[in-house]
Structures are given as structure tokens and as C-alpha cells.
Amino acid sequence: MPTLKLQLTLLIRIFSERLIKSYFLIVRKNIQDSVPKAIMHFLVNYVQDNLQSELVSHLYKQVKRLSDVSLLSSQFHGARVFSKICQFRNHECKNK
């Protein structure tokens, strides 16, 4: 028959093991909850930062393309005006 001291030691050991198991279950549950949240946090921040720079890049490309088209249109219009001036001068010179 175990002595009282042995029984008390056994109870303390069992109690300690249960406390440690409970503690590790709580820690594991917290980690299982935290890891997906942390991953989503980093993914959202990464996408937000990179998406913004991509959108700005595409916006500048569109603006440049539009300004190139506008410049080309202006040059074409200038060439037409110049051509009309030359035609007018040629017509004026022939009439003299």
C-alpha cells in the first residue's frame, strides 16, 4: 500500500501533466488561430503595396500613350496647316 507521501507525489505529477497538456493545447490553438491571420495580414499588405505601384505604372503608361497620340495629332495638324500655307503661296505666286 502506497504511503501518503507517495500518493501526494503521484497526484502532483498527474496534476502537473494535466496542466502542461492544457497549457500546450491552449498555445497550439492560439498558434493555429494566429498563423492564418498573420499570413493574410502579410498577403494583404504585399498586394496593397504592389497593386498600388502597378496601377500607378499603368496609369503613367496610359498618360504617356495619350500624350504621344496628342503630340502626333498636333504634328499631323501642323503638317496640314503648313501644307495649306504652301499651297496658298504656290497658288498666289502662279496668279502674279
Domain ranges of the chain: 7-47, 63-96
Q: What is the mean pLDDT of residues 2-26?
A: 93
- Cβ 31 vs Cβ 39: under 8 Å: no
Confidence of residue 86 (pLDDT cuts 50, 70, 90): confident
Cα–Cα distance measured from residue 17 to residue 34, given in angstroms and rounded to the nearest whole number: 25
At residue 24, does pLDDT exceed 70? yes
pLDDT, one tens digit per residue, over 32-85 is 999 999 999 999 999 988 888 888 888 888 777 777 777 777 777 778 877 777
Q: Which three cell numbers stand for residue 7?
A: 500518493
What gap in Å lies between CA 72 and CA 64, rounded to an integer? Answer: 12
